[in-house]
């Protein structure tokens, strides 16, 4: 592929990612500061942003790294939080055909936002779709890394007490819950809330998360057909 084709792909890929840039820079900044508040060294968040690229799971990972080593719990929590990517992958099977070795990076970098843009972007004839989707993914990935880097650096200069900043993780999931509720997906949101409260009462605050995730996934799987009929499947 020559330089002209690369420029064409970049010009087509960049504009749809501009709105994502603002959100990712701010959220990445928050993530970098949050990781610093947990006591992690500045480079830690940058490395995780570069090699994990899993959004909310990266916030959770910051806490898991401070807990006792429990790989089974970490794997199950990761699968529960990012299970939607299984469906993203299925939806992109045809889209990624013929992209060659770029496919491996497209798979790795397929976060929610990259999925939406690469699934909906209109690629004119004569453009290399593999390179267009590659640059879309690269731009979005770089926004997250840049925002995290800025937050990590800024965190080292903050001298005020950051105790309580870990509430940003709870706030993040609260926003996700409200988004589900306001968009009409109230049954799945209610199931998650009720199951979590019951498990909290039974298992206590230190052990309720894993059984909650397992039960929520099981319930949603069992009742997926009724939820689809009502249009509330997540």
Q: What mean pLDDT do residues 209-232 have?
A: 72
Q: What mean pLDDT do residues 185-190 have?
A: 74
pLDDT range class, residue 156, cuts 50, 70, 90: confident
Q: Phi/psi at 127 (nearest 5 deg)?
A: -95, 145
Q: What mean pLDDT do residues 198-224 have?
A: 78
pLDDT range class, residue 161, cuts 50, 70, 90: low
pLDDT digits (tens, 9 = 90+) for 93-138: 899 999 999 999 999 999 888 988 998 899 998 899 999 999 999 9
Cβ-Cβ contacts under 8 Å for 218 (sequence gap 6 or more): none
The pLDDT score that the predictor gives to residue 16 is 92
CA distance 163 to 86: 36
- Number of other CB atoms surrounding residue 22 within 10 Å: 11
CA-nearest of 224, 198, 230, 225 to 211 is 198
Structure-model confidence comparison of residues 64 and 182, the more confident one: 64
The pLDDT score that the predictor gives to residue 159 is 65
Q: What mean pLDDT do residues 19-34 have?
A: 88
The pLDDT score that the predictor gives to residue 227 is 63
pLDDT digits (tens, 9 = 90+) for 69-90: 888 888 888 887 787 787 788 8
8 A C-beta contact, residue 60 and residue 169: yes
Mean pLDDT of the chain: 83
The pLDDT score that the predictor gives to residue 37 is 85
* Distance of alpha carbon 201 from the chain centroid: 29
């Amino acid at each position: 592929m020559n330089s002209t084709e690369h420029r064409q792909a970049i010009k087509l890929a960049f504009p749809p990612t501009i709105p994502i840039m603002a959100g990712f820079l701010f959220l990445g900044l928050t993530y970098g500061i949050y990781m610093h508040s947990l006591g992690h060294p500045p480079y830690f968040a940058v490395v995780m942003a570069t090699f994990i690229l899993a959004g909310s799971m990266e916030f959770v990972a910051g806490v898991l790294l401070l807990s006792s080593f429990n790989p089974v719990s970490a794997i199950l929590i990761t699968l529960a939080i990012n299970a939607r990517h299984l469906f993203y992958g299925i939806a992109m099977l045809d889209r990624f055909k013929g992209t060659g070795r770029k496919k491996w990076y497209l798979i790795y970098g397929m976060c929610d936002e990259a999925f939406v843009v690469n699934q909906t972007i209109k690629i004119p004839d004569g453009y290399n779709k593999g390179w267009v989707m590659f640059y879309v993914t690269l731009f979005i990935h770089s926004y997250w890394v840049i925002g995290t880097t800025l937050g990590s650096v800024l965190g080292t200069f903050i001298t005020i007490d950051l105790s309580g900043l870990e509430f940003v993780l709870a706030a993040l999931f609260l926003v996700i819950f409200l988004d589900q509720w306001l968009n009409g997906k109230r049954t799945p949101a209610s199931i998650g809330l009720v199951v979590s409260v019951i498990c909290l009462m039974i298992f206590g605050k230190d052990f309720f998360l894993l059984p909650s995730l397992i039960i929520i996934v099981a319930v949603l799987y069992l009742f997926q057909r009724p939820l689809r009929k009502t249009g509330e499947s997540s």
